[in-house]
Amino acid sequence: MTKLEKTMEIWNNVETVDDFLNFIENPDIDYMNWSASFADSNKSGYWIGARIKNIPDVAHLLDNTPQIKATELSPTSMTESELEHHKNYNFGSGYDRHVATQELMRIADVLGFEDPSAYLNNQPTGTLMGRHVDSITCFLHERTEELKGQKFDRERRQPQGSKDIWRCFVALDDWRPGQIVNFEPNFWTHWKKGDVLFFDWRNTAHSTANAGMHNRPFLKITGTMKDDQFVLDARQDQDKVKVFNLK
Amino acid sequence: MIETQYIKKTHKEIDHSSNRLISDRHLHKHPYDPELLESIRDDILKPRTCKEFMDWLETHPHYDMVAEASSQFIRGTHQDDCFYQCAKINTDWSNITSRIQKYADENQINEKFDTNYTKEWRVFPMKEQKEFVPFRHNTELDNMRKHGFTKQYQLIEVTLTENFPELKQIEKLFDFEWGKADINYQPTSGQFPRHVDFLTTPFRRAIEEDPKIANTRYNPFTKTPEGYQMTRILIALEDWVPGQMFMFENYSWNNWKAGDTINFAWHSCRHSTSNCSYRPRPLMKISGMVKDGHWLTQKKFKEFKI
Amino acid sequence: MIRYSELKNKMLKDVASLQKDDFYLLEGKLIFKQEQKSLDAKKYLEKHYGNVEVLKANNHPHWNSQYKIELYFTGISEGVQA
């Protein structure tokens, strides 16, 4: 049996959130190929789900020491199997992870997220993020006590019975040339500060690179939403993008 | 003029020492001042011979800005004016790429991957290679490293060695004058920043060895001696895999197959490469001159079988 | 492709209000010091070349001058020249 086959066998026996967290933290699984197996070009892609006005300037925050540096690997944001894979292929974390300020957390409030996980992710010049499919493990780890006993939905890769968990990226500055964001098969470019990108995190392989000369700050938000209808509407019709105002 | 510790050298001199600059205070901040870019651009457009242009370029006080200033590109330009497929080469690519991989493994190209220019950053075994250094101004590399671009790509020599005879045969198909071929091997996690080319390596060789070219008028739009077109083509040596990024301005070259060959507007079109995949990305880069009227200057397509 | 320097020469010749130091090229976009002049330029460019996008210019402390507007094309046909 190959490593991936063994991995899939264990995965198929995941019943609870606790089982899932143990599964992904198992150093013997083939995490990268397991997660990559969910990439589906029929479902893959992104859309602009909202726009936010009056986002504060974040330039001064980017000079702070990040929680996790782009050039380092950290068990906080990666599983053991992931870490080994990234080390073998010379990748770092791909972005500086900063704690989101209260002001930035208001963005998540305004969008209607319920108790979200949110971080200021800045991709400095010269850094890049290896291709991957998400598993929202950070979100789950941050709520282990609350969630571990719950049944796990292997189809949606989240706790069973709960609302859909969404992930989005809020552009905290305008796009600059050289900044590459590839949600396969498309590239997100020319964004304006305040654009909110939603994507099918379950099925979209993505990678990012900063081949330009300016920082690239995003706010990454993960969680359920009070009312996600505007996100679904925007997915169907890009002329129906809802605008929110932070002020 | 701020001293940059730059030592003028011919293309055959080994650049031993002067790679490190006194300081980086002469490096300009991004985004560059548009007014200063304009004044440099106006200066680029003044009439000069090729030799005069190289002399001007080498000692320019704002060298780090010259390449950007030389670009005439306006956003919205059609993709086919940035790059297009000019050829398809059919051959036994798996044989060639397995030799490249063996070479890469033997020389630890993937492992020794900090492209620090104080060492020769090509992988080479031959004496002749050691004496042939690319023209890289200190400021260009300093600027890149300052912005975090320390792992870029590796260049594996083709023209001056006998390690890859099939690739030398492919090089000859295009009939370049002053042609130079290298394998541009980008290990996983490698990234080369957005930049505009000058193709100074073959250009400089031509000027130093051919007085006729040295005294030919320089065309600052095509960045070539009049009567010629400096050309750079890229040949995919392996099929593309997702995560391998080759950007020409906002356009992406992807989904290539081994043997796909593109010609691009190197004189104006900014390009960058990022390898976010888990597979090294080898391309062959051939740079040189072709005369006006050559098929590569006519946007023609040719298919070859070797 | 449209070359900036050739396009600029044409614009200076054909648009009476434009002077050499009114606009420059930055990262592929035409960057203007005055909004009215950018509007004059936009009108001319759209008449002769194609759709033009307008952006508010970001300024930087290390620059010599201040700028108001950036313009760029959204889709020029292949082979078009100034």
User: CATH number for the domain including A31?
Assistant: 2.60.120.10
Predicted confidence (pLDDT) at residue B24 exceeds the cutoff of 70 = no
Predicted confidence (pLDDT) at residue A170 exceeds the cutoff of 70 = yes
Check B277 against A126: CB less than 8 A apart. no
What average pLDDT does range B3-11 have in this prediction?
A: 46
Q: Chain A residues with CB inside 8 Å of B110's CB?
A: 90
3-class DSSP state of A211? coil
Check A90 against B147: CB less than 8 A apart. no
Q: Which residue range(s) make up the domain with A87?
A: 3-245
Pick the CATH number of B79-305 from 2.60.120.330, 2.60.420.10, 2.40.160.40, 2.40.30.10: 2.60.120.330
Distance from CA of B50 to the nearest CA of C (A): 20
What Cα–Cα distance (Å) separates residue B57 from each residue in A81, A134, A173, B232, B305? 50, 48, 35, 20, 41
* CA distance linking residue B25 with residue C44, whole number of Å: 41
What Cα–Cα distance (Å) separates residue B275 from each residue in A202, B42, B232? 23, 36, 21
Predicted confidence (pLDDT) at residue B249 exceeds the cutoff of 50 = yes
- pLDDT number for residue B235: 98
What Cα–Cα distance (Å) separates residue A4 from each residue in A36, A79, C46? 11, 16, 56
Give the A window 169-188 contacts with B, CB below 8 Å: 176-178, 180, 182, 184, 187
- pLDDT number for residue B137: 58
Predicted confidence (pLDDT) at residue B22 exceeds the cutoff of 80 = no
- B14 vs C: CB within 8 A: no
Q: How confident is the model at residue B62 (pLDDT cuts 50, 70, 90)?
A: confident
DSSP A163: P
Q: Chain A residues with CB inside 8 Å of C31's CB?
A: none
- C81 vs B: CB within 8 A: no
Q: Chain C residues with CB inside 8 Å of A177's CB?
A: 27-28
Check B189 against A32: CB less than 8 A apart. no
B247-250: Cβ within 8 A, 24+ apart: B247/A178, B247/A180, B247/A211, B247/B194, B247/B271, B247/B272, B247/B273, B247/B274, B248/B79, B248/B82, B248/B83, B249/A177, B249/B73, B249/B75, B249/B77, B249/B82, B249/C28, B250/A177, B250/A187, B250/A189, B250/A190, B250/B75
DSSP C64: S
Check B75 against C60: CB less than 8 A apart. no
Is residue A237 classed exposed, middle or buried when 0-12, 13-18 and 19+ CB atoms within 10 A define those classes? exposed
Check A126 against B148: CB less than 8 A apart. yes
> What residue type is assigned to position A102 of the chain?
Q
Mean pLDDT over the full length of chain C: 96
Question: For A191, which residue in chain C has the nearest alpha carbon?
Answer: C55
Neighbour-count burial for B88-97, b at 16+ CB within 10 Å, e otherwise: bbebebeebb
Two tokens at B267? Answer: 């004189």
- pLDDT number for residue B289: 93
* CA distance linking residue A20 with residue B107, whole number of Å: 42
Predicted confidence (pLDDT) at residue B173 exceeds the cutoff of 90 = yes
- pLDDT number for residue A111: 98
- pLDDT number for residue A88: 94
pTM of the model: 0.94
- pLDDT number for residue B159: 87
Per cent of chain C over pLDDT 90 is: 95
Query: Model confidence over B91-104: pLDDT tens digits?
Result: 999 999 999 999 99
Q: How confident is the model at residue B200 (pLDDT cuts 50, 70, 90)?
A: confident
Strand-pairing partners, residue A171, are A218
Beta pairing, strands A152-153 & A128-132: unpaired
- pLDDT number for residue B154: 85
Whether omega for the bond prior to residue B193 falls within 30 degrees of 0, making it cis, is: no
CB A49 within 8 A of CB A241: yes
Question: How many structural domains comprise chain A?
Answer: 1
- A114 vs C: CB within 8 A: no
3-class DSSP state of A82? helix
Q: How confident is the model at residue B109 (pLDDT cuts 50, 70, 90)?
A: confident
Q: How confident is the model at residue B208 (pLDDT cuts 50, 70, 90)?
A: confident
Strand-pairing partners, residue C69, are C32, C56
Tell me the count of A-C CB pairs closer than 8 A: 3
* CA distance linking residue B268 with residue B73, whole number of Å: 5
Identify the residue among A40, A62, A175, A213 best suited for mutation to test binding to B, counting B beta carbons within 10 A and taking the highest. A213
CB B191 within 8 A of CB A126: yes
A neighbour chains, 3+ CB pairs within 8 Å = B, C
Question: For C50, which residue in chain B has the nearest alpha carbon?
Answer: B76
Order across the sheet with C52-56: list the strands: C23-26, C29-32, C69-73, C52-56
Question: For A212, which residue in chain C has the nearest alpha carbon?
Answer: C27
DSSP A56: P
Predicted confidence (pLDDT) at residue C48 exceeds the cutoff of 90 = yes
Two tokens at B60? Answer: 């320019």
